[in-house]
Structure 1
Amino acid sequence: MKYALLSAALLSLVSLPAFSETYEVKMLNKGEAGAMVFEPHFIAAKTGDTVKFIAVDKGHNAETIKGMVPEGQEPFEGKLNEEIDVQLTAPGMIGVKCKPHLGMGMVMVIQVDGAEAPADFLEAKMPGKAKKTFEKILSEVH
């Protein structure tokens, strides 16, 4: 009986990755929401999921914004014109930017485990257009 319980527990741990999802985010010069966009610009995911940023058009990257990364999530910085896979390791809200196009408002939000945006989420240093885009995204999900 003891070994059966241990085997069941180990089997449940081994099967956990099967429940994780991979979300694809396109980095585009033009998308449904306009010019210089991540598509989609919002993802609701879970701890253990992966977000794959795909460089569909040239001149883009994906990276976290300082002050917009929850504790326990490693910040990331993708290279220009390259795909990057990001594993989500902690609940919270993650602000993502395309460094070359931040001034044009090319940002997105990843919500992990249904977390709400912290009160200081929009206090990170960023251009006005990026802040307005974040405000729009957050208003759509609440």
Structure 2
Amino acid sequence: MTSSRTLFAAAMLAATCASAQAAEFTVKMLNNGPGGMMVFDPPFTKIAPGDTVKFVATDKGHNVETIKNMAPEGAAPVKGALGKDETVTFEKEGVYGFKCAPHYIMGMVALVAVGSNLENLEKAKGLDQNKMAKQRFEPLWAKAEAK
């Protein structure tokens, strides 16, 4: 009886420690910010597997969604509603590209790098982007590559 209680206590402690280690990050969707007009702030976030990013819609005209083919294989796509916050927990390592659909043409993009195994980075960098998005992604790629 005592050993099953000990195992249960150990399991509960491990679960508590695992959830305590996970972190939550906030990325704001802004009309104007440090990077100019129509930006995610910060535009780059480096996190660990199991961490969460809360995308905060500071205006009713913003959303967040995964850029097609810019996520690790098997990762669930994200498509938030306009004007609504979206919270995403990242389990798979790799890079994830996000856009605000209405403002993508203006280069409103963000990059989340999860863990150290960024094997989809080169594929993500090679995807065709509009001029503004491509321009804003350039410094983000360099941040993802810096370990």
Same fold (TM over 0.5): yes
Which stretch shows the higher mean deviation, 115-124 or 130-139?
115-124
Contact 2:111–2:140 under 8 Å retained in 1: yes
Seen in structure 2, the aligned counterparts of structure 1 residues 108 and 81 have a Cα distance that, compared at 3 Å, is: same
Seen in structure 2, the aligned counterparts of structure 1 residues 47 and 140 have a Cα distance that, compared at 3 Å, is: closer
In structure 1, what is the Cα distance between the partners aligned to 2:125 and 2:54?
24
What SS is found at the alignment partner of 2:122? Answer: coil
Contact 1:55–1:81 under 8 Å retained in 2: yes
**Runs of 4+ deviating beyond 4 Å:** none
Contact 1:66–1:124 under 8 Å retained in 2: no
C-alpha displacement of 1:125? 3.7
1:69-110 deviation line (CA, Å, top 9, x unaligned): 112421110011110101111100000101111111110100
What SS is found at the alignment partner of 2:25? Answer: strand
C-alpha displacement of 1:138? 1.4
Gaps of 5+ in 1: none
TM-score (norm 1): 0.89
Gaps of 5+ in 2: none
C-alpha displacement of 1:120? 1.4
CA RMSD of aligned residues (A): 1.8
Tell me the percent identity: 39
What SS is found at the alignment partner of 1:122? Answer: helix
In structure 2, what is the Cα distance between the partners aligned to 1:115 and 1:24?
22
In structure 2, what is the Cα distance between the partners aligned to 1:30 and 1:42?
16
Contact 2:44–2:143 under 8 Å retained in 1: no
TM-score (norm 2): 0.86
